[in-house]
């Protein structure tokens, strides 16, 4: 009976240690996830500041080509 109690207590100790490690790992994962999204957000903001604005669309009068110029017999 004593050996069964010792095995049960050892299993309880192992379970408590595993539970504590799992909680710590979950906390670390939550911190890393939060840091990842913060870094991604900051990178997007900095990229928006650095990237030049898109060039303005050309004036429609400059890009118009009449069909009579395209149809040459």
pLDDT at 54: 72
Give the pLDDT of residue 10.
97
pLDDT at 58: 63
More confident residue, 67 or 40: 40
Q: Is residue 65 part of a domain?
A: no
Give the pLDDT band (50/70/90) at residue 72: low
**Half-sphere exposure of 24 toward its Cβ, with a 13 Å CA cutoff?**
6
Query: Does 54 fall in a domain?
Result: no
In a domain, 60, yes or no: no
Rounded Cα distance between 15 and 18, Å, is 5
Cα 21 versus chain centre, distance: 25
Q: Is residue 40 part of a domain?
A: yes
The tally of domains found in the chain comes to 1
Note whether residue 22 is domain-resident: yes
Nearby residues of 47 by Cβ (< 8 Å), 6 or more positions away: none
**Whole-prediction pTM:** 0.56
Q: What angle do CA 62, 67, 70 make, to 5 degrees?
A: 95
Q: Which domain holds residue 8?
A: 1-47
Token code pair at residue 47: 């990229």
pLDDT at residue 64 tops 90: no
pLDDT at 73 > cutoff 60: no
Residue 55 lies in a domain: no
């Amino acid at each position: 009976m004593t050996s069964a109690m010792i095995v049960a207590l050892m299993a309880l100790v192992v379970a408590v240690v595993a539970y504590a490690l799992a909680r710590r790992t979950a906390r670390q994962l939550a911190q890393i996830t939060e840091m990842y999204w913060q870094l991604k957000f900051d990178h997007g903001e900095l990229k928006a500041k650095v990237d030049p604005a898109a060039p303005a669309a050309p004036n429609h009068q400059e890009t118009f080509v009449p069909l009579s110029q395209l149809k040459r017999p």
